[in-house]
Amino acid sequence: MKQNYFSSLLIFLLVSLSSMAQNFSFNFGGSGRRVCLVSTQVDVVNERVKIIMHDSASNNNEPIYINRRQLGTYTWTSVASALPAGTGSWIDNNVNAGEIWEYQVRRQNTWNFQSINYDAIGYTIGALQNDNAVYKGEMILLVANDVVTSLPAKYNRLKKELTADGWFVNELVVPRASNWDSGNEVVTIKNQIMSIYNNAPTNDKPKALFILGHVALPRSGSTSVTAPDEHDENQGARGCDAYYADMDGIYTDTATFNPGSLATPLAINLPGDFKWDQDFFPSDVEMGFGRVDFADLTDLNLSEMTMLENYLDRLSNYRNVAAGYDMGDKTGFYYGYDNSNDGTYRSLPNISTPDKVYQNYAGPNHNQWVQSNGPFKMYMQNLSVPDINDWVTYGMDAAIYSSDQSYWGFGDVPQSGIYSRVRSLLGADSKCVVTLWTTTGINIFHQACTGQPLGIAMQEIMNHNSNNQYLEKAPQQYDEETWWNRTHFAFYGDPLVNLYQISPPSNITLSVSNGNAVLQWVSSPDAAVMGYHIYESSTEFGKFQRISNAVVNGTSFTIPNYQTGHWYMVKAVKIITSGCGQFIHTSIGKEIQGTLLLGLQENANTLSINVFPNPSAHIITVQSNQKITQIELFTITGQRVYASDIAEETTIQLNIATLAPQVYFMRITSEKGKTSHVRLLKTE
């Protein structure tokens, strides 16, 4: 519920100097007073970054200044000063292939707020084919114990797919929260998180925290600081997942805040109640973070575990680019409140190329418009509360959804009206995997255009304040400095979601050729894939390190230094072009365990078996160096549930779709009377 404030702007359709027609409007006299509309194109061969000023046709008076810094650093260096008004592009020749440079473009003294002049500022990145096809780092999966016990197969799949996406998963299972006021439970959990973080290697600290299920919710806030949109009933101790992600901030618990008019009694803050006093982050938050929590929702007539199961299925379909889940290369938005519009203009032309950014002119029928014009990587609805009936009727054909308005973005209470709708939308039947409340403070996240996970890209703007100026922007009504760096910021969904999808390879097999272990696979259906990279780990959930020195062009790879028991993974590799250059990116990986015993494989007296895929939901293939005469399946209690005599083949396919999802032991008997035992996981 924004207060009644809206700047009516004339709409002009601009055409950039590159003759690339935009599919959205940008008013140089309105939004352009605060935002420089920019993107980049790169020439990797000649090592150049071309910064394009898409608002140049309307800029008759204001010189342009450009700063740059290496992505991930905080100090800006001037690289271009007082470029003439109307300059359409500028080329940075002082770059090298493989680098990533972040650019800040500004026009000075264009915007006046509360009698102070500010600059119009835009951001873009020059990515010169930086290599994302490497191990990504550590993360923490903080999960409520009832998720693990209620959805074991789906939860195990999530861990495998996070690992296959390049992450090392630190698993932290905690008791389900007892209620929405969790008391000292939050301290116990924070100490466990800090132990994981501190024990991680110095050069590989966890980068993200994924909270899954109804985990105890920290709360923080204790003063009459300006509430979002000046709705003071939303002051006080609001949800603060960043408390878990802040490794060195000092959080106190001595304040009293109970003005008598708060929207929820959960926001009352008293000394010693384990609700923290801080309304602003006391230090930089070290990890990106996100929460998926369907407890106590009323919008949908579904149980908590059903919604969570549906979400985990959707997340898996998104990562694997299953049929109907290719979200394409477009982004879209609906024009609304200024601060959210500014986030659109600064971020979407970078995430998509500018010609792939589309504006909804049809009106506030958002879900239907997205269904008709999508799919979209991201849809930013910058005006109204999301309508749950529209979500049920039309779904949401966008991977990332954000909206404005104050109350719906508070997900820290049992649902009451539109409070906690930001959580319930992820439970609806849609393609959406992240919902954001970008009304204030967290409305710049262009860094995702390099293949960086969205939750990590948003970490920097969450840490931004008027002192550190990590990301500068002009203050405006409902986006003043009093809203920046606030402890109530939240992210709903998997924070490691990446906006750039690549279809993975399939049917990974392992065989022996000339005494060597050879991986083989079926190629990715993505025609633009340039090849594949191969990775190895000593354990199933270990740190997979790349072992292919160059991109593999075919669909086989001879493993150097093969070790029985190790795990091997194949990822498709593709060069992605976004609005901030190009980067080398990979699909999710598909893995297989090395069960071959080299040197014994061709010994007729030794039975060697390969079973794949494992785990599987439907068809498995059994390969042997001897003809198979019988296959039997036993439960972990020893009950035989399947037996079949085989017509002496070395390759057998079995349909296990009717078996219950659980662990089985497979006994294979050969023509020579030899037996081999294989552990098989049947999934849903």
Residue 317 or 678, more confident: 317
DSSP result, 579-611: TBEEEEEE---EEEE----TTTTT-TTS--EEE
> 1-131 domain in CATH 2.60.40.10?
yes
Q: SS3 for 622-635, per residue?
A: EEEEEEEEEEEEEE
Domain with CATH 3.40.50.10390 in the chain: 138-312
What's the whole-number average pLDDT of the chain?
Answer: 91
CB 541 within 8 Å of CB 169 = yes
pLDDT at 11 over 50: no
Percent of the chain's residues with pLDDT above 90: 76
Convert the pLDDT of each residue in 176-189 to its tens digit.
Answer: 999 999 899 999 99
Q: What mean pLDDT is predicted for residues 222-251? A: 94
CB 487 within 8 Å of CB 281 = yes
- Gap between the Cα atoms of 313 and 319, Å rounded: 10
Convert the pLDDT of each residue in 613-640 to its tens digit.
Answer: 888 888 888 888 888 888 888 876 677 8
pLDDT at 480: 85
CB-based contacts of 19: which residues, under 8 Å, 6+ apart? none
- Alpha helices by DSSP H, 352-507: 366-373, 388-394, 421-424, 454-457, 459-463
Alpha-carbon dihedral 303, 305, 309, 314, rounded to 10 degrees: 60
Q: What mean pLDDT is predicted for residues 130-138? A: 97
The residue whose two tokens read 């009727």 is 393
CB 137 within 8 Å of CB 165 = no
Q: What mean pLDDT is predicted for residues 423-430? A: 97
pLDDT at 517 over 50: yes
Residue 653 or 177, more confident: 177
Band (293; pLDDT cuts 50, 70, 90): very high
What separation in angstroms does the CA of 633 have from each of 53, 496, 659, 664, 678?
65, 37, 10, 6, 10
Closest by Cα among 655, 654, 645, 595 to 625: 595
> Alpha-carbon Rg of the chain, whole angstroms?
27
pLDDT at 4 over 50: no
pLDDT at 219 over 80: yes
DSSP, collapsed to helix, strand or coil, labels residue 468 as: coil
Q: Is the peptide bond before 364 cis (omega within 30 degrees of 0)?
A: no
- Gap between the Cα atoms of 627 and 15, Å rounded: 68
Domain with CATH 2.60.40.3080 in the chain: 611-681
CB 360 within 8 Å of CB 366 = yes
What separation in angstroms does the CA of 188 have from each of 178, 214, 275, 506?
14, 15, 14, 42
Band (551; pLDDT cuts 50, 70, 90): very high
Closest by Cα among 412, 418, 427 to 303: 427
Structural fold of domain 611-681: Immunoglobulin-like (2.60.40)
pLDDT at 277: 98
Q: What mean pLDDT is predicted for residues 503-526? A: 95
CB-based contacts of 120: which residues, under 8 Å, 6+ apart? 32, 33, 34, 35, 36, 62, 106, 107, 110, 111, 474
pLDDT at 672: 80
Q: What mean pLDDT is predicted for residues 193-211? A: 98
pLDDT at 600 over 50: no
Q: What mean pLDDT is predicted for residues 521-543? A: 96
CATH architecture designation of domain 506-593:
Sandwich (2.60)
pLDDT at 605: 57
Structural fold of domain 138-312: Rossmann fold (3.40.50)
Q: What mean pLDDT is predicted for residues 406-434? A: 95
pLDDT at 381: 93
Convert the pLDDT of each residue in 304-350 to its tens digit.
Answer: 999 999 999 999 999 999 999 999 999 999 999 888 899 999 999 99
Q: What mean pLDDT is predicted for residues 89-117? A: 96
Residue 7 or 439, more confident: 439
Q: What share of the chain is helix, strand, coil (3-state, %, to 5)?
A: 20, 35, 45
Band (7; pLDDT cuts 50, 70, 90): very low
Domain with CATH 2.60.40.10 in the chain: 1-131, 506-593
pLDDT at 606 over 50: yes
Alpha-carbon dihedral 410, 142, 680, 555, rounded to 10 degrees: 80
